[in-house]
Structure 1
Amino acid sequence: MRNFLITVQVIVSIILIAAVLAQPAKTQGFSLLTGASDTFYSKHRTKTFESSMSKLTIISAAIFAAVALALNLI
């Protein structure tokens, strides 16, 4: 059981690293201060690459934390 959890931990950690590195930068410079970032794209990004990578990061981080907790309890 421990070997299985270690294998899952390694796979999830690779997925988590890839998901974090694939996310685009959220810095937009001075336009964040002026409020000029309200575009159609920024308002309707529910099905964009950015939102899917954000969801993948959250899910893989939760799985990573659960497996890490399980490994500590075993």
Structure 2
Amino acid sequence: MKNLLIAVQVIVSIVLIVSVLAQPAKTQGFSLLTGATDTFYSKNKTRTFEATMSRLTIISALIFAAVTLALNLVK
């Protein structure tokens, strides 16, 4: 059981690292202050690659935390 959890932890950690590194940089930080207009991208943000990578990061982080807790309980 412990070996299976360790293998799952390694796989999830690799997925987490890749999903964080694949996210695009958010360089338009001050555009919200200047009142930038809405674009097609901002209106359809839930269907973009960025949104998918964000969801994948959150899900893999939650799985990573759960597996870490399970590994500590299995000791």
User: 1:57-72 residue pairs with structure 2 within 5 A?
Assistant: 57-72=57-72
Q: Secondary structure at the match of 1:46?
A: helix
Residues 45, 72 of structure 1: CA spacing in aligned structure 2 closer, same or farther, 3 A cutoff? Answer: same
Across the two proteins, how many residue pairs are aligned to each other? 74
* Divergent runs of 4+, >3 A: none
Q: Could you say what secondary structure the match of 1:62 adopts?
A: helix
CA RMSD of aligned residues (A): 1.3
Where does the alignment leave 5 or more consecutive residues of structure 2 unmatched?
none
TM-score, normalised to structure 2, is 0.89
Flag structure 1 segments of 5+ consecutive residues without an equivalent. none
Q: TM-score, normalised by structure 1?
A: 0.90
Identity level (%):
78
Look up the equivalent residue of 2:48 and give its one-letter code.
Answer: T
Partner of 1:4: 4
Letter in 2 for 1:39: T
CA contact (8 A) 1:15 1:60 kept: yes
Could you tell which deviates more after superposition, 44-53 or 9-18? 44-53
2:22 alignment counterpart: 22
Which of the pair is proportionally richer in helix? 2
Separation (CA, whole Å) in 2 of partners of 1:29 and 1:68: 34
